[in-house]
Every structure is written in structure tokens, then in C-alpha cells.
Amino acid sequence: MSSKPADLAVPELLTGWGRTMPSRAVVVRPATVHDVAAALTSAGPRGVLVRGAGRSYGDAAQNGGGTVLDLGALADVELLDDGDVVAGAGALLSDLVPVLLAAGRFLPVTPGTRFVTVGGALAADVHGKNHHVDGSIGDHVRRMDLVTPDGVTHVLERGGSPAGDRLLDATLGGMGLTGAITSARLATIPAPTPWVVVDTRRADDLDVLMALMTDPAERHRYSVAWVDGTARGRRLGRGVLTLGDHASPEAAHGRTGRAVPAGVPRVGVPPLPVSPLGRASIAAFNEVWFRKAPRSRDGELVGIAPYFYPLDAVGGWNRLYGPRGFLQYQFAVPDSGAEVVRRTLERLAAIGAPSFLSVLKRFGPGRPASPLSFPIEGWTLAVDVPTSVPGLARALDELDDDVLAAGGRLYLAKDSRAVPATIAAGYPGLADFRALRSEIDPRGVLVSDLSRRLQL
Amino acid sequence: MTDALDRATSVLVLGGTSEIALATVRALRSPALRRVVLAARPSPERDAAVAALTAEGVAGVSAVDFDAAGTTTHDALLAEAFAGGDVDVVLVAFGVLGDQQEFEDDPDLAVEAAQVNYVGGVSVCLRAARLLRAQGHGTLVVLSSVAGERARRSNFVYGSTKAGLDSLASGLADALHGSGAHVLVVRPGFVRTGMTAHLEPAPLSVTAEEVAGAVVAGLRRGSTVVYVPAAMRVVMSGLRHLPRTVFRRLPI
């Protein structure tokens, strides 16, 4: 490495957002792309991994005993005349949003938090509430700069060359195991106002909810359902579907609205010795959430921030689950496997796993060219569960079998407890991915706790 | 890496034929557990342990030759075990109980016991700690004994070896703080195993399975010390503070 001041290489205990499975790595903060290349070529025996904002739930962004790169210094954001945005890998989506909105544009895809980095979003090939219309973020990448373990920077223009596209596609969803993304150029979409026009539909059970979500008459860019993960019996799977579109100036009645707050929230959850979230309080939360939703309402104007990022208003909300932490179980299944959604809700209710936040979404076609990209056409369910729930390990193992039998898969960015065989069965492209890794990374420099645990 | 639901993927047992160790491996069994290395002297018992665990569905069980007193061989043995992949749990489970009267009659036997229990323990604990620190995660589980808390007339040689091992492990726990690696010191009372079959069980005696359960619970909680049974913590606290004249006369 060129010159690395001591204060730029700090040992830290790292966990994911679920606050489970800590491991210690030396965190290095390269100032330039050259430093990134130097870190890769001078890697020690435990290898190197880039960590974004640490918003994956499990061990995807940690590398016990090795080096972890924080690319926070590579965070420039530039909006081009054609509406594309070029951003450093370390830029947060919260850095991009105000720039885009000021020009009447928005992110083509955004996850449920804006506090993720551009590099992390691409490495996980994140999806949003518009996957059924717009696909995942990988579908909007025009160019990516990737430093491979040999220290070479590849400028990967979409359609530039077959070899370049192969590397680009493997990197989308590749969990940082193909190289260090340093910059990307993304397409954007129009957002003439900072408002979203939202239609709300309340469904008393899962059948009604799923019927609403597949109703061809409801054509909206954004569609997501919150599901009451504590409801059982006849109420199982009851939920609230919100359908949204960016508001035109007419629809917004000239309201300018508040800007999306910059930076991370100042109000947050402090470290707690025990979790205040018990089964009763979570059930009460779900009950209130369900009852406050109108049975049906059209045309409500909701700001960009509360619509896309409701939880971003509470800093460190992951601490609510206490020191033992939590996990998020997220799978995707084809339409033919819709029953797995019901079985998951039933199974988790049966073991008394209180879920604060369960989210059901439709997926459009996935990215078969990207071997580890998560979305496949059909349904995806995400359920938060505290790890202390008795019987959780066995219940999730059994649900894994259901997911695989239905032709589905688990989301690597959320995983903290799957076994290698489950991932291999869900991702038939894994063999290709491994082959590409052995070509570009014969020394095995790029590793993570996730890649070791799941033998990626 | 031990997963979010506290399931180890890889376990290295030093003293791989110990009943407590094998009960612990059984208690750690899960779909996530994929590698178990039993380090012990070659013996029919070791072969039987590999066969039994494999027959019970534990994945990836293998054996390696290990002599606790042969400290010059420990570096290579541990390096090889870690070269086969990250180790989530290193279980230090070897030890000899011996006979107090024989130790006093033949001090050479006492020296041998000290070499296995204490010197061997120093050797593997320090080496394993270094490897765990280098991988940034994992737990060193050290089977100590309440016999090490206060030397008793009836087995103070054995007790002294465990006292030394316990002190070492407790110090290592502090040394590893913040490294991502942890130490769990296990202090069982009288455990009814083959090693103690010739003895009259003491009050609060436990089985190997109960010790294994306490180890797994301690790993889950991230404890530094567990007593088995838990009530032993209070008992030992009392015994530690008894006047010597009283303690000496206790029938223990």
C-alpha cells in the first residue's frame, strides 16, 4: 500500500443491520481509486472486502480477520445533462436524492432506506416497490468502474463487450466478491414533484391481499403491502396495500413540499440492555397500523421521504430488538409458489415469532444474466424476527425447503442463517459465479464472512 | 462463522474422546454444523466416537492425532485445523483426574498430570487464541472444574492443575476482549462420566449432557464463565470464604 496513515487503518468489530455475528476486521479508508487498487493487490491472507453503509442484515459486509474498505471518500455525485447520475461507490442514496429531486428526477430503484451506498446497492442488486415495472437497480446501470483483485480498473459500459458485460452482470448482486465498485453511472426517472400520489387498499386476509396485488386494473409504478405478521386464523395475512405514482404538478396542486431531510436522523434509539419489543407490543403495533389504514382511499399526497423511507426517520431502529439482534427472512417464489407466503406467515405465527414489519411485494422478471441477483418473477416476502424466538432455526430451515421446492430462493443481503446447499439450490448460476471468481480472483482476495459461511 | 441463530459451522475438539466433549458436539449439532475435528490419541475410542457421531448424522466428522503433553506438536496440529476453514468453537476438553493418594505416593505421576492438564492446556489455549484472534471471531471453550476454585484435601493435585488452567483461560478472556474472539470457562461440579465412575457422586453432581447444555447456553449468551449446575456458583462462593479450619474438615 502506498502511504497509509495509522489512523486510516482501524480494527473494528463489525456486524450487519441485524446486529448479530460480530467479527473484527481492519477498516481502511482509501482516499483514491489508486488506494483501492493498492489495498487489493497487497491483501493479506484473510483478504479484502468493501463495506458500504452496513445495511445488509447478516454478515455480507464483514470480513473477520481481514481488511474491510470503507469508500466513504469516493462519494462525488454529478447529475448529467441527459438525466443520468454519476456517483462514487461510497455516496449514500441520501446524497443523490436531493440532487435528483432538484432537477425533477428520482432514483430508478430505491430500497426502503436511503442510507445505503451506491456500491452496496449495486452489489446487492437492490429492488424497490417498483420492481414489477422497473426491475432492480442493475437494470439501470449504464456504466460501472470496477477494480479487480489484480489492481486493474475496468470501465464497464453496458453493451461494451461480452466479457465486460459478463463481469458487470456478475457484479450486480455479486455481494462485492468480484471486485471493488468505485463509481457508477445510473439512469434516473422523472419525478416532477417531491410528492407521491398514493392509493391505499386494506385487505382482511391474505387471499384478498394477493388478489388486489395481482389486479391488472391497478397499474401503478409503486406497489407494496404491509402484512400483519401477528394475525392468525381467518385474519392471517391481512394487510394494507399502498399503490403509488410520482405526482404531477397538477396532482400536487402546486404544493412544493418539504425537501427530503439530508443526513442521518438526529433522533435515534439508544443502545438498550433489553428489547422493548415483546409479543404484545408488536401485536398492538400491528393492530393499530391495520386499523388506522382506510379500507380504500385514492389520491393521497405523500412526501417522498415518508413514502419511500418511513423508517429512516428513526435512527438506529435496529436497536429496538435489543442486544441479541434480529434477522430478516426474505425469499422470492414464482407465482406457482404463492402458497409459501401463507405457510411462512402460518409457521412464524405458530412459533410465536412476533414480526414488527412484514412486507409483501410483486416481482417482475429478474436478471438471469446476473447469477446472484435475487429477484425472480412472482412474490417476495420479507419478515423481521428477533433471533431469540425459540424454535426459529428449525422453522426457517423447514421454510427454506418449501421455498426451494417452489423454485424460489433467499436474499443474500438479508441472510444470516442459511446453509450453503440452500443457496446453491436457489441460485443455479452459482457455479458460473464461482468460475468467474476463480478467473478474476485466483488468489481468493475478495472474501466476506458471508462468502465463507455460504461457500459462494 | 457461528450464524445469527447461534449455530456453529465448525468445531475443533482437543481431547476428542471426552464424554463431555462428545455430548457438547451432539448439543451443537445442527444443519449449519459441517465440520467437526476430534483431536485425540489414536485409539479404538476415538474411532468409535467418529463412527458414532457420523452415524447420528453429524456432518464432516474427522479425527487427528493429538497428544496433550506433546506441546511441540501443537502448533502444526492447530494450524492445520484452522487451514481447513474457520473454526467457530475450539473445545479444550482433555484432562486426567488421577488419584490423590497415588499422586502423593509417586510425585512423578502428579507431574505427568500437571503436564497434561496444565502445561498442555497452556500450550493449546495460547495457540488457539492466537488463531481465533487472527480470524476475528470464534470461541475458545475451556473445561475447567470447581476443583480449581479452592484446593481440597481429597484432590488438590488435580485441583491445582485446573486452577492453573482456569486462571490462564480467565486471563485470555480479558486479553481477547474486543478481538472478535471469546473465551468461555466452564466450571462443572462432579460430572458422572467414565472418568469418575469409580467415585461416589458428590452433591449437585451432573451428567455430561448437562454440561454440554450449559456450554451451548453459555455460547449463546456470550458468557465468560458458566457453572454447572448453575447453583454451584453460589456454593463455591460460600466455600471460598469458609475459614480454613472449617473447610479442612468438610467431607468433600
Residues 6+ apart with CB under 8 A from A310: A112
| pLDDT for the residue B180 | 97
- pLDDT for the residue numbered A6: 43
Average pLDDT, chain A: 93
Instruction: Say if the Cβ atoms of A18 and B4 lie within 8 Å.
Output: yes
Number of domains in chain B: 1
- HSE-up (13 A, CA, CB side) for residue A188: 28
* pLDDT at site B185: 98
Expressed in angstroms, the distance from the first to the final Cα of chain A is 28
A181–chain B nearest CA distance, Å: 25
Sequence length of chain A is 456
Res B203: pLDDT:
83
- The answer to whether residue B61 is domain-embedded is yes
Query: Does residue A183 surpass a pLDDT of 80?
Result: yes
CATH class for the domain made up of A77-191: alpha beta
The whole-number pLDDT of residue B218 equals 97
Which residue range is the domain that position B70 belongs to? Answer: 10-249
Say what the pLDDT of residue A259 is: 59
Question: Letter for the amino acid at A339?
Answer: E
Position A314 scores a pLDDT of 80
- The answer to whether residues A4 and A36 touch, using CB atoms and an 8 Å cutoff, is no
Q: Which positions of B are catalytic?
A: 158
Q: Which of A13, A327, A417 sits opposite B178 (nearest CB)?
A: A13
Does B2 fall in a domain? no
Closest alpha carbon within chain A to B31: A419
Instruction: List per-residue pLDDT tens for chain B, 252 residues long.
Output: 999 999 999 999 999 999 999 999 999 999 999 999 999 999 999 999 999 999 999 999 999 999 999 999 999 999 999 999 999 999 999 999 999 999 999 999 999 999 999 999 999 999 999 999 999 999 999 999 999 998 888 999 999 999 999 999 999 999 999 999 999 999 999 999 888 888 888 888 999 999 999 999 999 999 999 999 999 999 888 888 899 888 888 877
B31 closest CB neighbour out of A13, A387, A397: A397
pLDDT at A405 > cutoff 80: yes
- d(C-alpha A328, C-alpha A419), whole Å: 15
Determine the residue type at A91: A
Does B137 contact chain A (CB < 8 Å)?
yes
Residue B60, domain member (yes or no) = yes
User: Is the pTM here over 0.80, yes or no?
Assistant: yes
Sorted by sequence, the CB contacts under 8 Å of residue A434 that are 6+ apart come out as A456
Nearest beta carbon to residue B1 from set A18, A396, A452: A452
State the Cα angle at A31 between A28 and A35, rounded to 5°: 70
Per-residue pLDDT of A15-47, as tens digits, reads 999 999 999 999 999 999 999 999 999 999 999
For residues B122 and A73, what is the distance between their CA atoms, to the nearest angstrom? 45
A416 touches B at CB < 8 Å: yes
Distance from C-alpha of B23 to C-alpha of A218, rounded to nearest angstrom? 58
Query: In this predicted structure, what is the pLDDT of residue A28?
Result: 97
Interface A-B, measured as beta-carbon pairs within 8 A, has a size of 75
Residue with cell 451432539: B26
* In the predicted structure, residue A2 carries a pLDDT above the cut 50: no
Tens digit of each residue's pLDDT (9 = 90 or more) over A199-239: 999 999 999 999 999 998 888 999 999 999 888 889 999 99
Mutation to test the A interface, candidates B3, B7, B223, most A Cβ within 10 Å: B3
Residue A4 pLDDT level (bands cut at 50, 70, 90): very low
- Do the domains A195-256+271-418 and A77-191 match in fold? no
The CATH number for B68's domain is: 3.40.50.720
Do A449 and B1 lie within an 8 Å CB cutoff?
yes
- Quote the pLDDT of residue A64: 98
Residues of B in contact with A396 (CB under 8 A): 5
Q: Is the ipTM of this complex over 0.85?
A: yes
Q: Is residue B138 part of a domain?
A: yes
- pLDDT number for residue A319: 84
Q: How many CB atoms lie within 10 A of CB A347?
A: 18
Q: In this predicted model, what pLDDT tens digit does every residue of A252-308 receive, in sequence order? A: 887 766 656 666 666 677 777 777 777 777 888 788 878 888 888 999 999 999 999
Under 8 Å between Cβ of A337 and A407 = yes
Band (pLDDT 50/70/90 cuts) for residue A374 is very high
Question: Is residue B136 domain-resident?
Answer: yes
C-alpha span between A225 and A215 (Å, rounded): 14
The pLDDT tens digits for B82-96 are 999 999 999 999 999
| Rg from Cα positions in chain B | 17
Min Cα–Cα distance to chain B from A275, Å: 15
Tell me, what's the pLDDT at A230? 86
The reported pLDDT for the residue numbered B164 is 98
Query: CA-to-CA distance for A270 and B105, rounded, in angstroms?
Result: 62
With CA atoms as reference, report the closest residue to B228 among B141, B159, B143.
B143
Q: Kindly determine whether residue A387 and residue B4, on different chains, have CB atoms separated by under 8 Å.
A: yes
Kindly report the average pLDDT of chain B as a whole number: 95
Residue A348 sits at the chain B interface (C-beta within 8 Å)? no
Strand A189-190 to A105-106 pairing: antiparallel
Q: Does a structural domain hold residue B132?
A: yes
Q: Is residue B105 part of a domain?
A: yes
Does domain A195-256+271-418 fall into CATH 3.40.462?
yes
**SS3 category, B36:** strand
